[in-house]
Each structure stands twice: as C-alpha cells, then as structure tokens.
Amino acid sequence: MITITEALSEINLIKKKLVSKRGVVSQMLIRAEHIPDTYEKEGGSRAYIDREVQSINDLCLRLISIRAGINRANLKETITISENGHAISQSIHDWLIWKREIINDDLNFYKTVTHAVKMHLDSVSKQPQVYKDDAGNIHLVKSMINIDYPAWQAAHARASAILEKLDGQLSLKNATILIDV
C-alpha cells in the first residue's frame, strides 16, 4: 500500500527508466563482429537486450497497475468544496475531468467577456458615440450590456476560488489516500 503521491512519484521514475532502457536497447541493436561484446560475461548482448526488454515490459505492467490503483481510488473517493454557502461534492475522478477539460476554458471565457465589457465601457466613457435619427436629430448611442456584469465577475471569482480549494484538497487526498498496487 502506497499513497497516491508516492505512486505518482513512482510513475515519473518508471517513465525515466523506460526512456533510459529503450535508449540502451536501441544503441545495442547492431554491433560489428570484430568489436568485442561488452556483455559477453553476462551471456552476450543478445541476452542482455532480452533481459532489458523483459525489464521494460515489467515496468510497463507496474505503471499500468499503479495507474489502475489511482483510478480506482479516484472513482471511489470524493472531495467536497464549499463556496459561498454551497457545497459541491464529486468523486476525485470527476473533479479531475473538470480541472483538466473545463475550468481553464471557463476561466478564460469569464476573462474574455469581462475584458470585452470593460473595454467597451472605457471606450464609451472616453469618446461617446452619436447617431442621427430619421428626423435628423442627434442622439447619444446608449449601450445595453446583455449580462449581469457584477454577477459575471462574481462567478469568475467563485470559479477561481473553487479551483484553488480543489488544488489544496487534491494535494491532501494524494498524500493520505492509500492504494494497493
């Protein structure tokens, strides 16, 4: 049994080992016959490569086992985030999907919309626009903002706060949840 934090660390180590072992195998594929075999005492280069390939396969199986253990835990364990009196409870799996695939686009969308409205309001305050009606009368152009701007800003702040709280909860859960691999 290991924590998810330890498991994620082991995954990184396995990936580095895989890169290294695959590199060694690739370099040893062909050898000129007149050059002595560096691994002659260990059964020769061919046997060494066979052992390295077996090691690569074993590391891949370990990586699959660790990922599967993490996935099982993430489907079972939940995180509850409270924000402005509302509690949102979801599996870690669902939170991770939200974090990877939704929240960054949402936050960028909030920023884009609030920036566009702010730029328009700044522009209008600096240089008001006018128009002539059919009778030739001049009028100020009045803008109508089609969102509740303060509510939009509050939603942006709320989403950012949820993300911050989630990051803290994920760190805590990863350090405390034990998985069997």
Domain limits of the chain? 2-179
Contact 69/181 with Cβ under 8 angstroms? yes
* Residues forming beta bridges with residue 79, ordered by sequence position: 90
Residue 123: the pLDDT is 87
| 3-class DSSP state of 33 | coil
Contact 89/80 with Cβ under 8 angstroms? yes
- 57 vs 7: CA distance, rounded Å: 18
pLDDT in tens, the chain (181 residues): 999 999 999 999 999 999 999 999 999 999 999 999 999 999 999 999 999 999 999 999 999 999 999 999 999 999 999 988 889 999 999 999 999 999 999 999 999 999 999 999 888 888 888 888 899 988 888 888 999 989 999 999 999 999 999 999 999 999 999 999 8
pTM listed for this prediction:
0.79
